[in-house]
Amino acid sequence: MSAVPGGLSTDQQPPMTIPLRYFLVGLGFLLAGGAVGLRALVAPPSGLAGLAHVHLLLVGWVCLTIAGAMTQFVPVWSNVPLHSRRLANATLALFVVGVAGLAWAFYTARPHWIHGFGGVLLAGVWAFVYNLGRTLAAARPFDATEAHFAFALACFAVVAPLGFALAMDFTTPLLPFAGVSRPQVVAAHATLAVFGAILATVLGALYQLGTMFTQTDLHGVDRHLARIEYGYPVGVVALAAGRLLAVRGLALAGGLLVAAGALAFAAILARKLSESQVQRTPMLSRYAVVAAGLAAWSVLAGVAWLRDPLAPAARFGPASAPHLLFVGVVGFVVAGSLYHVVPFVVWEHRYSDRIGFEPVPSIDGLYDGRVAALDFWLLAAGGLALTLSRADLLPESAALAGGGLLAAGFLAFAANLAGVVWKHGRVLPNWATGRAENAD
């Protein structure tokens, strides 16, 4: 059976169905975003439809999954109670309405609805930041994971109003009065969202998960690499500020710190995986892809930012490598983590109190291992095809094939995890209302 790590305080965690809702709704946004992206490969999107694809995947799937994971595991890791269960439930509702409505408004090019639904999403993000910020405040002094999470929450708090300002600017020009152009604000918004809110959370979580599930410790050169990685948050702030103010030197310094920090962490993760003595799982297999993808992306991004850190084409590194970052790093981290977290949540609720009284399945036994292997190779092949096609190393037709492979892989992944809940989680109470969980 997958190890259930010791030394964690499960007494502080909220009811299991709270994060489970986040994860399953996030899978729905993943499939919707994949469908929009696949259609874009067949017929290039017009107007704002491309923003619908981006927000469905990065906000609807990745950020919603991050919110659910933090809500569940910050109390466990930090041994502090969640500040408010009501706010956790409200956050999910606001996220769902905000993301779905915003994607619809982008896709149908209805600018007046963009800032309406953007306001709902802003409220959801701030509710999440306040709830988890109050929770983390009781955990000081911070370890590496908690420090990264605190920085990510600060980025969430800034990203949301920047996005709302951009939404308002569609119909009521506001940015010229602030002395900045729309492209500058877009660049700062995207930088803080991807490298601050999302990637900082990923690195912070992997400090904990990478050591916990390989049953290793940071030692020797790991500690020196960690000191380099600690410059990563400074780099994100400098890169975002440099792009917002169009100061090339500041953006360059920030970009190099981001690339160096990410490369150092890739080395730490690779070392932990190489030292692991535990049985290979879908989670660890995906983390191996993350280590390789993050290392490759870091080098390519550093080179691209040395040339011009302010260029729109270099916003996420080289123009050819967005899929290397978003699929090979972020996508595989989220997918790999969910392959443990969702079965663990269901197993904990359904089977943990039956140990010693009757045979119970292992955590890894709740999902289909063959489907997990299939979606791994589909996602790896699809992401590689898209990356090589964007780098002009494969013909344009490979991008369409890669998109199809990614769609099939994510569909298999979502079906596998949904099957865990359907087959083993039927007794989870009050799914629709959460009435048993609303008390603080």
The rounded distance, in Å, linking the Cα atoms of 438 and 435 is 6
**Residue 45 neighbours by CB distance under 10 Å:** 17
The rounded distance, in Å, linking the Cα atoms of 138 and 9 is 15
The rounded distance, in Å, linking the Cα atoms of 351 and 367 is 15
The rounded distance, in Å, linking the Cα atoms of 400 and 389 is 9
pLDDT of residue 1: 34
pLDDT exceeds 50 at position 5: no
Question: Each residue of 216-234: pLDDT tens digit?
Answer: 999 899 999 999 999 999 9
The answer to pTM > 0.85 is: yes
Give the pLDDT band (50/70/90) at residue 425.
low
Give the pLDDT band (50/70/90) at residue 357.
confident
Query: What single DSSP character describes residue 13?
Result: P
Mean pLDDT of 301-305: 96
* Lookup: tokens for 435: 């009435």
pLDDT exceeds 70 at position 436: no
Mean pLDDT of 102-108: 93
Alpha helices in 276-321 (DSSP H): 282-307
pLDDT of residue 27: 92
- Does 281 or 45 have the greater pLDDT score? 281
For the chain, the average pLDDT equals 88
Query: What single DSSP character describes residue 354?
Result: G
Question: Each residue of 399-409: pLDDT tens digit?
Answer: 889 989 999 99
pLDDT of residue 421: 86
Question: Each residue of 156-214: pLDDT tens digit?
Answer: 999 999 999 998 888 777 777 777 889 999 999 999 999 999 999 999 999 998 888 89
**Residue 38 neighbours by CB distance under 10 Å:** 16
Percentage with pLDDT > 70 across the chain: 92
The rounded distance, in Å, linking the Cα atoms of 438 and 89 is 8
